[in-house]
C-alpha cells in the first residue's frame, strides 16, 4: 500500500507551486520525506537517485497522489553526473528553481586512526563531493534565471564521535553554504543548510555500508562496531534537549521553509534541526 504524503500544511500551504525542485538521494529517509513535502506544497519534483528501485518507489508515490514527479538516475559523486542531472532536468522542465543537496551519509563508524586512505576518500566522495558538484553544475543555470534556492544538508556530526571524515565533509558543506551565499546573492540565488541531529530512517532500502552497486563496505568486528555505534548514539542523546530521534518529516519541514519564498531574506545560514543538540 502506498503511504500517505499528507503534511500538516496540506490544508493551505502551496509555497512551492509549480517550482521545479531537484531532491538528490530522494529514495529514502530525509530525501524521500523532502520530495513528499515539496510535492505536497505544489513543487514539480525531480527524484534523483543512483538506485532504480528507490527512485521508482518515491516517484510512483508522488504520482499516485497527483503530483508532478520525474525520476532521474544519476551518480552525483562526479561533476559529469551532476551536470547530466541538471541538463536532463532543463530538458524536461526548462528551469531549476530549487536544489536540495541531500546525498550523503557516513559509511564507517570507527575511531579515526582505524580509517584507511581509501575509506577517507570514499567518505568524502559520498558526503562532500555530491553537494559541491551539484552546486557547481546548477549555479550557471540559476544565474541565467536570476533566481534559485539551494538547500544543503549538513549535520551535527562535527561535534560527535567516530565519523571524522563524514564530519569534515559536513563542516565543509557549512563553509560552502556561506561562501556561495555571499558570492551569488547578487544573482537572486539563496543558499542555506539544514543541519539534522540524529534522525531515524525507517524506510531505508539501500544500506548505509553500500558504497556502490555490488560493493559492500567491510566493517570492523561486529561486537566492537556495535559498541562504537552505541557510544556514538549515547553521545548524541546526551547533547539533546528533546530526548528522541528526529523524524525525516521534521527535517523536510525545515528544508521546505528554506526552499520557499517564505525564506526570501534568509541566506548563508545553517539551521539546526536537532532537538536542541549543541
DSSP letter string over the chain? -PPP---TTTTT--TTTT-EEEEETTTSHHHHHHHHHHHHTT-EEEEEES-HHHHHHHHHHHHHTT-EEEEEE--TTSHHHHHHHHHHHHHHHS---EEEE-----S--S-GGG--HHHHHHHHHHHTHHHHHHHHHHHHHHHHHT-EEEEEE--STTSSSS-HHHHHHHHHHHHHHHHHHHHHGGGTEEEEEEEE-SB--TT--S-TTEEETTEE-----HHHHHHHHHHHHHHHHHH-SS-S-B-HHHHHHHHHHHHSGGGTT--S-EEEESTT--
β-strand partners of 195: 272
Whether 74 and 48 have beta carbons less than 8 Å apart is answered as yes
Domain count, the chain: 1
Is residue 3 one of the residues assigned to a domain? no
pLDDT for the residue 1:
33
- The whole domain housing 215 covers 20-273
Q: Can you tell me the distance from the alpha carbon of 131 to that of 76, in angstroms, rounded to the nearest whole number?
A: 8
Residues 266 and 258: beta-carbon distance below 8 Å? yes
All cell numbers assigned to 152: 544543503
Sequence-separated (6 or more) residues with CB below 8 Å from residue 214:
none
Residue whose C-alpha cell is 499528507? 6
Q: Whole-angstrom distance between the N-terminal and C-terminal Cα of the chain?
A: 39
pLDDT value at position 244?
82
Query: Closest Cα to residue 152, out of 182, 173, 178?
Result: 173
**pLDDT < 50 positions in the chain:** 1-12
Query: Cα–Cα distance between 243 and 159 in angstroms, integer?
Result: 17
The pLDDT assigned to 136 comes to 98
**Is there a domain that residue 1 lies in?**
no
Determine the pLDDT at residue 256.
Answer: 98
Give a yes or no: residue 182 inside a domain. yes
Within a domain: 172: yes
Q: Read off the CATH number of the domain in which 180 is found.
A: 3.40.50.720
CB 46 within 8 A of CB 24: no
Catalytically annotated residues = 166
Q: Is residue 13 part of a domain?
A: no
* Residue 150 · residue 141 · CB < 8 Å: no
Q: What proportion of the chain, given as a percentage, has pLDDT over 70?
A: 88
User: Within a domain: residue 5?
Assistant: no
Residue 80: inside a domain, yes or no? yes
CA distance linking residue 278 with residue 270, whole number of Å: 13
* Residue at 205 is within a domain: yes
Whether 70 and 59 have beta carbons less than 8 Å apart is answered as: yes
Burial of 116 (0-12, 13-18, 19+ CB in 10 A): exposed
Amino acid at each position: 500500500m502506498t503511504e500517505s504524503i499528507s503534511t500538516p500544511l496540506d490544508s493551505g500551504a502551496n509555497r512551492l507551486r509549480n517550482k521545479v525542485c531537484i531532491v538528490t538521494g530522494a529514495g529514502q529517509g530525509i530525501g524521500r520525506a523532502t520530495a513528499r513535502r515539496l510535492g505536497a506544497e505544489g513543487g514539480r519534483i525531480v527524484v534523483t537517485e543512483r538506485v532504480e528501485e528507490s527512485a521508482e518507489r518515491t516517484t510512483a508515490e508522488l504520482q499516485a497522489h497527483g503530483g508532478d514527479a520525474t525520476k532521474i538516475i544519476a551518480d552525483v559523486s562526479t561533476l559529469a553526473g551532476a551536470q547530466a542531472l541538471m541538463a536532463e532536468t532543463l530538458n524536461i522542465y526548462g528551469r531549476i528553481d530549487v536544489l536540495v543537496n541531500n546525498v550523503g551519509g557516513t559509511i564507517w563508524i570507527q575511531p579515526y586512526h582505524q580509517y584507511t586512505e581509501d575509506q577517507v576518500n570514499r567518505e568524502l566522495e559520498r558526503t562532500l563531493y555530491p553537494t559541491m558538484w551539484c552546486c557547481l553544475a546548477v549555479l550557471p543555470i540559476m544565474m541565467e534565471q536570476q533566481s534559485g534556492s539551494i538547500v544543503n544538508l549538513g549535520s551535527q556530526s562535527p561535534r560527535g564521535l567516530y565519523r571524522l571524515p563524514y564530519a569534515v565533509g559536513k563542516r565543509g558543506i557549512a563553509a560552502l553554504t556561506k561562501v556561495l551565499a555571499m558570492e551569488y546573492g547578487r544573482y537572486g540565488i539563496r543558499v542555506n543548510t539544514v543541519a539534522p541531529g540524529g534522525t531515524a530512517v525507517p524506510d531505508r532500502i539501500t544500506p548505509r555500508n553500500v558504497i556502490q552497486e555490488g560493493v559492500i563496505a567491510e566493517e570492523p568486528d561486529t561486537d566492537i562496531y556495535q559498541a562504537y555505534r552505541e557510544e556514538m548514539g549515547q553521545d548524541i542523546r546526551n547533547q539533546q534537549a528533546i530526548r528522541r530521534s528526529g523524524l525525516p518529516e521534521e527535517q523536510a519541514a525545515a528544508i521546505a521553509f528554506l526552499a520557499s519564498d517564505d525564506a526570501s531574506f534568509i541566506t548563508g545560514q545553517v539551521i539546526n534541526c536537532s532537538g536542541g543538540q549543541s
